[in-house]
Structure formats: structure tokens, C-alpha cells
């Protein structure tokens, strides 16, 4: 089985690359934007024609949440037009598309975990383009999985965990928002889940269960709680202070609550999901080993 991973230089792409060697029955092909540019239909056609993948995991995205407010055209080009390009290419080559989306498609006003069929109402350019990308995919192709996730971090790339560790090395005190609640997601957990979906389908070809799914690690916390745990497991002493969103204004509005209900993905694919705190500890331990 051949699986193409687009956006391979991002943290999820790198997590998939790290997980790939133990899956001998899958031939992964990792492509960055230079080789598989989702904004260029011909670029996609060429690589699909070259490797003829059965699956494409599309991790390519414009993810600079605040910058997107001043660069809406760039965000749209990747997250909407790019999603449509890859969906059309997958359809032309009879390839199953696994597309990564986000909790930012919701407005954050709910008080209980969001289900897949809850009404989307993004409050930022980033969230809007990711929602519109989902819509394009659903219009173009039937063989798709849209997997929404949240607060992704890892030992790879740029993310909240690495930012906190960097700032802790530079400062004696930090203030972190305490009134936005969600779930940190280890990119390695997400990578393993995407591979598990492919493995499930290989064993259950008559019942592929296409559609939209939610995945994050289990549990919930605020950004302050997340930072506190990061410093705790790294044995870092720092003056950490909780602040409100109003005290830390950003160009893009974040959901106040974006916990995702994972029951559908757990039931559909027999997936076991770790608690976010366990995932964090495992990630940091893996980073120490590496």
C-alpha cells in the first residue's frame, strides 16, 4: 500500500515519518511543498501520477492563526483552494483522502465537548478557511476522512510546548491565558491514529466508514494548565501567572472552549486514546532519548 503525505516538513508530517518504519506493509512517500504544492494542481497531478497512492494524508495547511488575519488570501489559497485541488486529484486517481482540520471551525460557546455534527461557526480567518476547505472536500469527493484536531504539539517544528520551553530559558516569569479550554494533542498520537484508520480499512474494505471525525488526546485544560504541566515534567521552576484573554489580546479570536468529543472515532476504528498529560510526559521522554 502506498501512502502519500503532503506537508511532510510540518510537525504532523515529521511525526508520521517517525512512525512509518514500524509499518512494513505501508510504503510512505513524504512530500514537502516543493514537491507537492497543494496550491498547484499540476504539481499534485505529477506526484500522484508518479507514485499512484492508495491514500493521501494531507497535512499541508496555512496555520499561522494570527498572521492569517492580515493574509486572508494566502490562507485561502492553501486551506480552501489547496484542499479543493487535493480532493480533485484524489478523486481522479481513486485515492482516499485523509485531511486534517481544526477545532477552530467552532465558535467556542458550547459548554460540552463538540460533536462532529455540531454547527460550525469559525471566528477567525484561519478557522473560516479550514471550515471552507472541509466544505470543498465534501463537495468534490466521497472517499474522504476529515479529522479535526486541537492544540497540536510535538518535539518537531514550532508549537506551544517548544515556545514555553524557549521562553522559560529566557525569563524568570511568564503569564499564560487561563480562560481558553481545550485539549493538547501530541502529534505522535495523531499520527498513530491516522495510520490506524488506514490499517482498519485494509482489514475492513467493505466498510470504510468515510466522513468527519474528531481526534485529540483525552481530557481538557487551559493554556495555563498546559504550560504548568510542561514546566512540571521538565523540572523547570518559573513564576507562572494565569491571565485572561482580555489581558492578552491577539489579532485572531480563539474559541473559549474547544474540547472535542472523540467517541465516534474510538468506536468506529477501535482506537484507544491516551490522556493528554501522559502524552506530554511520553513526548518529553522521547525527546530526551533522541
Exactly one of 55, 126, 145, 156 is catalytic; name it.
Answer: 126
Its pTM stands at: 0.95
- The domain spans of the chain are 2-158+184-219+258-276
pLDDT in tens, 9-56: 999 999 999 999 999 899 999 999 999 999 999 999 999 999 999 999
Catalytic annotation present for 126? yes
Q: 281: which 3 cell numbers?
A: 510526559
Look at the alpha carbons of 95, 96, 101, 105 in this order and tell me if their dihedral is positive or negative.
positive
Q: Return the closest-CA partner of residue 106 out of 259, 218, 250.
A: 259
* CA distance linking residue 147 with residue 217, whole number of Å: 13
Could you count the other beta carbons within 10 Å of the beta carbon of residue 117? 9
pLDDT of residue 287: 57
Q: 200: which 3 cell numbers?
A: 482498519
Q: What residues of the chain score a pLDDT lower than 50?
A: 289-290
Could you count the other beta carbons within 10 Å of the beta carbon of residue 66? 14
Q: Give yes or no for a contact between 33 and 7, defined as CB atoms under 8 angstroms apart.
A: yes
* CA distance linking residue 198 with residue 208, whole number of Å: 9
pLDDT in tens, 71-92: 999 999 999 999 999 999 999 9
How far does Cα 42 stand from its chain's mean position?
Answer: 26
Q: Which residue has the cell 503569564?
A: 175
pLDDT of residue 289: 39
End-to-end CA distance of the chain, in Å? Answer: 29
Q: Which helix (H) or strand (E) covers residue 282, if one does?
A: helix 276-289
Q: 249: which 3 cell numbers?
A: 489580546
DSSP 65: T
126 strand-pairing partners? none
Task: Give the start-end residues of each E strand in 72-136.
Answer: 96-102
User: Options 3.40.50.970, 3.20.20.70, 3.30.70.890, 3.40.50.720; which CATH number does 2-158+184-219+258-276 get?
Assistant: 3.40.50.720
pLDDT of residue 205: 85
Amino acid at each position: 500500500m502506498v501512502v502519500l503525505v503532503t506537508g511532510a516538513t510540518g510537525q504532523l508530517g515529521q511525526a508520521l515519518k517517525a512512525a512509518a518504519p514500524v509499518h512494513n506493509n505501508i510504503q510512505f512517500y513524504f512530500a514537502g511543498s516543493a514537491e507537492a504544492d497543494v496550491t498547484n494542481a499540476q504539481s499534485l497531478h505529477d506526484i500522484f501520477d508518479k507514485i499512484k497512492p492508495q491514500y493521501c494524508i494531507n497535512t499541508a495547511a496555512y496555520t499561522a492563526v494570527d498572521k492569517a488575519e492580515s493574509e486572508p488570501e494566502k490562507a485561502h489559497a492553501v486551506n480552501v483552494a489547496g484542499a479543493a485541488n487535493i480532493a480533485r486529484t484524489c478523486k481522479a486517481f481513486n485515492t482516499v483522502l485523509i485531511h486534517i482540520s481544526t477545532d477552530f471551525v467552532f465558535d467556542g460557546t458550547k459548554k460540552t465537548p463538540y460533536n462532529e455534527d455540531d454547527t460550525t461557526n469559525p471566528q477567525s480567518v484561519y478557522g473560516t478557511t479550514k471550515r471552507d476547505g472541509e466544505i470543498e472536500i465534501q463537495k468534490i469527493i466521497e472517499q474522504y476522512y476529515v479529522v479535526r484536531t486541537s492544540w497540536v504539539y510535538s518535539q518537531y517544528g514550532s508549537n506551544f510546548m517548544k515556545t514555553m520551553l524557549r521562553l522559560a530559558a529566557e525569563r524568570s516569569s511568564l503569564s499564560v491565558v487561563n480562560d481558553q479550554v481545550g485539549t493538547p494533542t501530541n502529534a505522535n498520537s495523531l499520527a498513530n491514529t491516522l495510520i490506524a484508520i488506514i490499517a482498519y480499512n485494509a482489514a475492513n474494505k467493505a466498510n470504510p466508514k468515510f466522513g468527519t471525525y474528531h481526534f485529540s488526546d483525552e481530557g481538557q485544560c487551559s493554556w495555563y494548565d498546559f504550560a504548568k504541566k510542561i514546566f512540571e515534567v521538565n523540572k523547570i521552576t518559573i513564576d507562572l501567572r494565569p491571565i485572561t484573554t482580555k489581558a492578552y489580546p491577539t489579532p485572531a479570536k480563539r474559541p473559549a472552549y474547544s474540547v472535542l468529543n472523540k467517541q465516534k472515532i474510538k468506536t468506529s476504528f477501535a482506537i484507544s486514546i491516551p490522556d493528554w498529560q501522559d502524552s506530554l510526559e511520553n513526548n518529553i521522554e522521547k525527546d530526551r532519548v533522541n
